A and B are shown apart, each in its own frame.
Chain A
């Protein structure tokens, strides 16, 4: 036995999805995390709560509303149709959008922790030494929060790989386009094909353990909390 062609396609698709999602999340999440770490606005609470929602919501809630929102009658669906790119459900782009929502807290929160840990003092000192914003970003913020970025990237990636409920609800189970590993495993189990299910499940288990092991051993050295 081993992986079938469909299994391999699912693995490749999942890695691609997690990669694209993680990149996007770092771009979107960093400004949000920065703002959350430094703002004194009254909006800090509501925005923080919004970002954290996927931590407590069942993926079916997210998947259900995404399906409605991205459908032909939904606001997102009407917008994407107006743009001429059609509807997002059942497409790779749709999975990326869903995954960005779904994994947002896993990227924002480690970054926010790192930014808060940095504090504003080093930045003020650098500013009095006439370091410009770009200089402060590259010589201070990025190096000092490196482990926060690493945690965010690894968690965002791993969480997207493990996504199930949302992709099941808006994916449509299309091989090569939306059939990710977790859905493929579910398929095997439903089809009573437990041998194939074991192959993929065991790989996921080992992958997840290794990722978290790397994360924890790295974090122990640099002492940054998750």
Chain B
């Protein structure tokens, strides 16, 4: 995956609302065809709505599948904006039109709740992130990550630990293994986990701590070699979702959060290597 721009979703030409509004006009003057069309719009308007979701970069791939499944089973539509959790937080606190927020940590959603910009009772952990040490070279990493232990690399990429939870977890792992001082001169930082992945995928860094969801599909490593980091080596990577104030009255927003807790979403989330 390459870096995805964090653009606001363009509103898909909303089939439902403009038409529904027009239908309050004089009905008699409309041709039967137009009337029929508007009737159709009205019915779908009461059922389907659109939700704008801000999603942390590490959850990009599972979210694609979840949204497809969500749209198919509920008829609602979801527009996804990807970005670093910190950036999305800043945009939301300054009025970005998001209705649901899937963060990479618990801190940002909690702060939005504290600031009155999100609903406290809607907050829950939708996924538990897993860290993996990854290399695009097929034979660099083995079961005990000896390449890391012995310093057989020139660059180690991590996400910026100050802003990205996966980066902070990576730092905790290095500290726990007593390797931090040794690797510090070799560290490079991606602004988030997506850029960290790009550093390793392009071969500019031989090793990097990325999200397991970026390199594993159904338990299979997609390319290169990897060392799945044992979870006891870092604090848990709980990723919280929250309903934002703007989405309070949007049925699609509530439906999406409900769908995230469903079994269908759960199995997608797990298939990308996350815990629940």
| B151-193 contacts to A (CB < 8 Å) | 154-155, 157, 160, 162-163, 187-191
A201 on the interface (CB 8 Å rule)?
Answer: no
**B17 on the A face (CB < 8 A):** no
Determine which of B162, B190, B202 lies in contact with A191 in the assembled complex, contact meaning CB atoms within 8 Å.
B162
Q: Interface size bucket, B side?
A: 20 to 34
- Find chain B residues with CB under 8 A from A64 CB: 2-3
Check if B191 sits within 8 Å of A190, measured CB to CB: yes
Are A192 and B89 also in contact (CB < 8 A) when A67-B204, A172-B189, A187-B162 are? yes
Partner of A90, one of B5, B111, B188, B195: B188
Chain A residues with Cβ below 8 Å from B162 are 187, 190-191
Cβ-closest chain A residue relative to B188: A172
Chain B residue numbers with a CB within 8 Å of A71 are 202-204
Chain B residue at smallest Cβ distance from A170: B204
Q: In the complex, which residues of chain A have a beta carbon less than 8 angstroms from the beta carbon of B129?
A: none
Tell whether B62 is near chain A: CB-to-CB under 8 Å. Answer: no
B186 CB to closest chain A CB (Å) equals 10
A173 to B191, CA, bound (A): 8
A-B residue pairs in contact (CB < 8 Å), sample of 8: A70-B204, A72-B204, A86-B154, A168-B191, A173-B189, A189-B90, A190-B84, A190-B162
- Determine if A140 is an interface residue (Cβ-Cβ < 8 Å): no
What residues of B have a CB within 8 angstroms of the CB of A86 in the complex?
154
Given contacts A64-B2, A190-B84, A190-B87, contact A172 B157 (CB under 8 A): yes
How many angstroms between the C-alpha atoms of A190 and B155 in the bound complex?
24
Chain B residues with Cβ under 8 A from A89's Cβ? 199, 204
| A73 vs B137: C-alpha distance when bound (angstroms) | 12
B198 interface contact, C-beta 8 A: yes
Give 5 new A-B contacts, CB below 8 A, not counting A71-B202, A191-B162, A192-B111.
A60-B3, A73-B203, A169-B3, A172-B189, A189-B86
Considering residues A173, A189, A191, which has the most beta carbons from chain B within 10 angstroms of its beta carbon? A173
> Which of B3, B163, B187, B198 is within 8 Å of A187, CB to CB?
B163
Asked if A87 contacts B204 (CB within 8 A), the reply is: yes
Instruction: Name the interface residues of B1-30: CB closer than 8 Å to any CB of A.
Output: 2-3, 5
Category for how many chain A residues contact B: 20 to 34
Residues of A within 8 A of B188 (CB): 90, 172-174
Nearest CB on A from B55, distance (A) = 16
A-binding residues in B (CB < 8 A) = 2-3, 5, 84, 86-87, 89-90, 111, 154-155, 157, 160, 162-163, 187-191, 195, 198-199, 202-205
Q: Are B160 and A67 in contact (CB under 8 A)?
A: no
Binding site for B on A (CB under 8 A): 60, 64, 67-68, 70-73, 86-87, 89-90, 168-169, 172-174, 186-187, 189-192
Residues of the B chain whose Cβ atoms lie less than 8 Å from the Cβ of A87: 204
Chain A residues within an 8 Å CB radius of B191: 168, 173, 186, 190
Instruction: Name the distance in Å between B160's Cβ and chain A's nearest Cβ.
Output: 6
- How far apart sit A71 and B203, CA to CA, in the bound complex (Å)? 6
* B154 to chain A: closest residue by CB: A86
User: In the complex, A72→B154 CA distance in Å?
Assistant: 12
| Bound-state Cα–Cα, A37 to B199, Å | 40
The reply to whether B160 and A192 contact each other, CB–CB distance below 8 Å, is no
Contact assessment for B86 and A68 in the assembled complex, using a CB-CB cutoff below 8 Å: no
Which B residues are CB-close (under 8 A) to A72? 203-204
Do B198 and A67 touch across chains, with their CB atoms under 8 A apart?
Answer: yes
Neighbouring A residues of B89 by C-beta, 8 Å: 192
Q: Considering only CB atoms, which chain B residue lies closest to A193 in the complex?
A: B162
Decide: A192 near B202, CB < 8 A? Known: A60-B3, A172-B190, A174-B187.
no
